[in-house]
A = this chain, B = another copy of it.
Amino acid sequence: MSSRVAHAIDLEVVLKALASARRLQILEWLKDPQTHFPPQEHGDPVEHGACNLYIVEKLGVSQPAGSRHLKVLVDAGLVLATRRKGWVYYRRNEDMLSTVADRMAKI
């Protein structure tokens, strides 16, 4: 069992967040930030994830559109944000993702 109790998830909110090719793509990229994004000066890609700008750029949409996709993922609890030196880094919330996977096994 995990060291912290998993929050009760709102399955509809989580699934709406996941039901998007762009957001699925972001989660996929964040599995291995070092491979998918340029090196970062501040913020270790492995520890803190990839910064907003890089993700937005790679998505190929405008900055507000990209930021909103990230916000949807954060609001659903699937991705964690870290602010650091003026940048915001995003990484997968593996606890949440496995909670979701467990829940989906009972659907």
Residues of A within 8 A of B (CB): 11-12, 15-16, 18-21, 24, 27, 97, 100-101, 104-105, 107
**Identical copies of this chain, number:** 2
- CB < 8 Å: which of B21, B27, B97, B104 contacts A101? B104
Grouping DSSP codes into helix (H, G, I), strand (E, B) and loop, the A interface class, with mixed when no group exceeds half, is: helix
Residues of B within 8 A of A100 (CB): 104, 107
Q: Are A27 and B97 in contact (CB under 8 A)?
A: no
Q: Are B107 and A18 in contact (CB under 8 A)?
A: yes
A18–B19 Cα distance when bound, in Å, is: 9
Closest CB-CB distance, A48 to chain B, in whole Å?
A: 21
A105–B20 Cα distance when bound, in Å, is: 17
